[in-house]
């Protein structure tokens, strides 16, 4: 019971929506994890059909598909649902995943399964819609932004955004939040980088406008040149 209460409290610390810890027992992610623990026990006992049966029942009830072979640590939280976690995925402690995330695998060319799904470090946050593909390693306390597509290893503490995901280049030692909803920073210091990029774009647009004006002036100059030459010739006479 103490372990369950600690687990519910860990979720409440990451989600302000529930009015009590017991309300969290209605979350599909909590039930998906419960059924996965059962399916994984059967999988480890090599009762593969029963493990798959539990897995499919859980997916039908929760909308979350966790392969029985996946290894999941403590205090794992799937906020909402429609998440897919592959067979050889390994997830550390205190990991948060939002809706519509895929921890997918690469297709082996030799017909043998092997390690083909991601390894997720402790305290990682994966935003909604993110796709983390292949036998890559997501470092401890990394943040994967919403809709990011990650196919390469992610350093510890890095924040990845975009498709294909790129680092925000914010050093973890300079800026490190305890928890970022959806793994996507929406304030400092990323806003500074966006603002700097916006100013740079505005400067480039101003330079481009100036160059266009100079080009138009050069185009107009030959047309005016004969008139000026004629006027000067008349004056000399």
What is the C-alpha separation between 53 and 148, in angstroms, rounded?
Answer: 32
- Among 160, 134, 166, 167, CA closest to 146: 160
Which contacts (CB < 8 Å, 24+ apart) does range 32-41 have?
Answer: 32/58, 32/62, 32/64, 32/66, 32/78, 32/81, 33/66, 33/72, 33/76, 33/78, 35/61, 35/62, 36/66, 36/68, 36/70, 36/72, 39/66, 39/68, 40/68, 40/69, 40/70, 40/71, 40/72
Edge-to-edge strand ranges of the sheet holding 65-66? 65-66, 84-85, 102-104, 131-133, 149-150
Domain regions of the chain by residue span:
2-186, 187-237
* CATH architecture label of 2-186: 3 Solenoid (2.160)
- DSSP 8-state secondary structure symbol assigned to residue 90: E
| Predicted TM-score (pTM) above 0.85 | no
Per-residue tens of pLDDT for the chain, all 237 residues: 788 899 999 999 999 999 888 899 999 999 999 999 999 999 999 999 999 999 999 999 999 999 999 999 999 999 988 999 999 999 999 999 999 999 998 876 666 678 999 999 999 999 999 999 999 999 999 999 999 999 999 999 898 988 877 776 655 545 555 666 656 665 555 555 555 666 777 888 888 988 988 888 888 876 555 555 555 555 555
């Amino acid at each position: 019971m103490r372990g369950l209460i600690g687990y519910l409290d860990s979720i409440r610390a990451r989600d302000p929506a529930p009015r009590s810890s017991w309300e969290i027992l209605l979350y599909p992610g909590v039930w998906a994890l419960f059924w996965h623990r059962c399916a994984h026990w059967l999988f480890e006992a090599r009762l593969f059909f029963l493990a798959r049966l539990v897995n499919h029942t859980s997916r039908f009830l929760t909308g979350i598909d966790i392969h029985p072979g996946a290894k999941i640590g403590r205090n794992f939280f799937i906020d909402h649902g429609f998440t897919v976690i592959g067979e050889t995925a390994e997830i550390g402690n205190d990991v948060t995943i939002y809706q519509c995330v895929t921890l997918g695998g690469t297709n082996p060319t030799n017909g043998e399964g092997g390690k083909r799904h991601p390894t997720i470090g402790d305290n990682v946050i994966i935003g909604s819609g993110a796709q983390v593909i292949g036998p890559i390693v997501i470092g401890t306390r990394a943040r994967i932004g919403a809709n990011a597509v990650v196919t390469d290893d992610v350093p510890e503490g890095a924040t990845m955004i975009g498709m294909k995901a790129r680092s925000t280049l914010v050093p973890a030692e300079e800026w490190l939040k305890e928890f970022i909803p959806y793994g996507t920073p929406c304030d400092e210091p990323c806003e500074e980088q966006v603002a700097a990029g916006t100013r740079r774009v505005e400067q480039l647009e101003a330079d481009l406008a100036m160059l266009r004006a100079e080009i138009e002036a050069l185009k107009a100059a030959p047309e005016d040149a004969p008139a000026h030459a004629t006027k000067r010739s008349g004056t000399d006479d």
